[in-house]
Amino acid sequence: AFHILSATIALVLIEIVPSPVYLIFLALAFTTFSWAMEILRRVNDHAREKLMSFFGPVIHHHEYQKINSATWYSTALILLSLTLTPVLSAVAVTVLGLSDPVAAAIGRKFGKIKIFSGRTLEGSLTFFIVGTFSTFVLLSNFHPVGSNLRMLIISACAGLFGAVGELFGKYPDDNLTIPLSSALGTFIALLIF
């Protein structure tokens, strides 16, 4: 739910902000806040306790000691905003926000075939399918970039690159690698197709 909510908020901002330049300032504010909270919890025990009790229900156990996923996500958002290409940012947050939680749920419940770093084939295939479908819906409704076939190919590239980013993105964090990977797949597909 947290992934979907944060992706929805980011997507709405991407779509309603009148200029891609404004997105840089919004992303910079969010990134600055995220990294400031990350530093604060490292240097102040009381702040760490408060932050961890507040975010405890939505963070993974390893995030108590390492940089949390929201900080990596904010870092991805600032990097995406610097492209000044809203379609890349929109695809990236959509793929992360929908594919990652659905793939995790399917992988945990039905995943039998381990492929890499604790990931399952079932989860990775789910990621690809959800990434492709959600990107196609996004492109069709907000960023039409040609024929349905072209949008499907671009969507499949976004889903595939995002799935690879999820598969190999455990370090530093898949909330950084997924959006950047899916944006890269979209960028390459837009150039080629």
Q: Please tell me the predicted confidence (pLDDT) of residue 26.
A: 96
SS3 state of residue 91: helix
Mean per-residue pLDDT of the chain: 94
CA 68 to chain centre: 14
Based on the number of CB atoms within 10 Å of its own CB, is 65 exposed (0-12), middle (13-18) or buried (19 or more)? Answer: exposed
SS3 state of residue 85: coil
pLDDT tens by residue, 45-81:
999 888 888 887 777 777 778 899 999 999 999 999 9
- Residue 172 contacts by C-beta under 8 Å, 6 or more apart in sequence? 67, 72
pLDDT confidence tier of residue 174, bands split at 50, 70 and 90: very high
Tokens describing residue 143 = 């960023």
* pTM beyond 0.85, yes or no: yes
Answer whether 98's CB lies under 8 Å from 44's CB.
no
- Residue 6 contacts by C-beta under 8 Å, 6 or more apart in sequence? 70, 73, 97
From the CA atom positions of the chain, what is the Rg in Å?
17
